Amino acid sequence: MLDTANPIKKMMMAMANKFTDIFSIRLGQVSPQRYKIKNDSRSIWIAMTKLPAYICIMFSFFKTKPTLSEIIPEGSVDIHSHILPGLDDGSKNVDQSIALIQGMKNLGFTELIATPHTMTGVWENSSEGIEKSWKTIQEHEIRNEPLRFASEYLLDNSFLERMQKAPLLCLKDRMVLVELSYFQAPINLFEILFELQLKGYLPVLAHPERYSYYFSDFKMLEKLKNAGCLFQLNLMSVVGHYGSESLKMSESLLNAKLIDYVGSDIHHQGHLECFDRKVQVKNLKALEKATAANAFFSQEAPLPSP
């Protein structure tokens, strides 16, 4: 029998009982009373051997999630941003653009693709206008930063006409960043996607997790994927910036392995601050895989085989 007068042994016995109580209850086992450690050396020894496992479980409950900036690998390529001045609801002037570009560089992005909105009736941008804005930035001290430009095209009824008139600006090769209205998708969405691909373009759908009319229609997102769209998740969605439904949809898309790439979709300084927030999706592995996949857009990356 154990000498209960020994204070060290008494303390060990109390600790063993405490852990057993806590984890018996937490793990939904029978009453902790059934696991009460008996006052003998063998029982205490058995309980103490389980302590490391209990401690590991305890730490797994408190394991902290990384911040958004922590999951961005050094040398990343951002494929979605509104950092060119005076073209849309993003940067208003050269100073703001330079501050945003510097901020992105500090986060680990070494290549940026600016993608101003092209939206009939709202942001009537042309390839020439976008290039002109890009050249304005090149004339400043930021010119040595790898900054390219494309556009984020709204798929609406006027899109096909636009596509027929002039070549679209691409992220790389024939990959075009496209978005849908937040109110409703065009009735002829699949026809537009078909024509786009017939013309030799590959659609990359921006933030599929943000369209509220798909929150309860996951099958439609699967259909879009099967129709040839690649999916680009907004990084700020995984910290809950756009709300709980977008966060939930981000998790569902990651779990279903439907996300191909990520993008910042940065518009202003406040968006940079989102990178200090904790990632809230559970599937970090899928998120990190999509983040790493952006390397494909690097100027250094080899062209895909035909």
* Cβ-based nearer residue to Fe ion, 251 or 265: 265
Q: Which of residues 118-157 bind Fe ion (CB under 5 A)?
A: 152
Return the residue of 68, 72, 265, 296 that touches Fe ion, per CB under 5 A. 265
**Separation between Cα atoms, residue 98 and residue 142, nearest integer Å:** 7
> Rounded to the nearest whole angstrom, what is the least distance from the CB of residue 278 to Fe ion in the complex?
23
Task: Name the strand (E) or helix (H) holding 76.
Answer: strand 76-78
Q: Report how far residue 200's alpha carbon sits from residue 221's, in angstroms, rounded to the nearest whole number.
A: 22
Q: Which residues contact 263 (CB under 8 A, 6 or more apart)?
A: 78, 79, 80, 81, 206, 207, 232, 233, 234, 235
CB of 206 to Fe ion, least distance (A): 6
Instruction: Please answer whether residues 73 and 109 qualify as being in contact, where contact means their C-beta atoms are separated by less than 8 angstroms.
Output: no
Size of the site for Fe ion (CB under 5 A): 2
From 43-51, 190-198, 230-238, 258-266, span contacting Fe ion (CB under 5 A): 258-266
Least spacing, CB of residue 89 vs Fe ion, in Å = 9
**Are the CB atoms for 104 and 264 separated by under 8 Å?**
yes
**Counts of helices then strands in the chain (DSSP H, E):** 11, 9
Question: Which of the stretches 49-57, 187-195, 215-223, 264-272 binds Fe ion when contact is defined by CB under 5 A?
Answer: 264-272
Q: Taking CB under 5 A as the rule, does residue 209 contact Fe ion?
A: no
Closest to Fe ion by CB, 111 vs 179, is 179
202 forms beta bridges with 175
Provide the CA 46 distance to its chain's centre, in angstroms. 45
Nearer to Fe ion, 20 or 97 (CB): 97
Please enumerate in sequence order all residues whose Cβ is within 8 A of that of 187, keeping only pairs 6 or more positions apart, or say none.
none
Helical segments of 107-217, H only: 127-138, 159-165, 189-198
Residue 76 or 283: the one with the smaller Cβ distance to Fe ion is 76
Min dist CB 117 to Fe ion, Å, is: 7
x/- string (CB under 5 A) for Fe ion, residues 167-206?
A: ----------------------------------------
In angstroms, what is the minimal distance from the CB of 147 to Fe ion? 16
CB 229 within 8 A of CB 260: no
Residue 273 to residues 38, 107, 238: CA-CA distances in angstroms?
Answer: 54, 11, 14
Q: Map residues 215-254 to x or -, x wherever contact with Fe ion holds by CB under 5 A.
A: ----------------------------------------
Query: Taken in order 26, 30, 36, 42, is the CA torsion positive or negative?
Result: negative
**Position with the least CB separation from Fe ion:** 265
Q: How far is the CB of 81 from Fe ion (least distance, A)?
A: 8
Among the listed ranges 57-65, 222-230, 265-273, 276-284, the one in contact with Fe ion (CB under 5 A) is: 265-273
Binding site for Fe ion (CB under 5 A): 152, 265
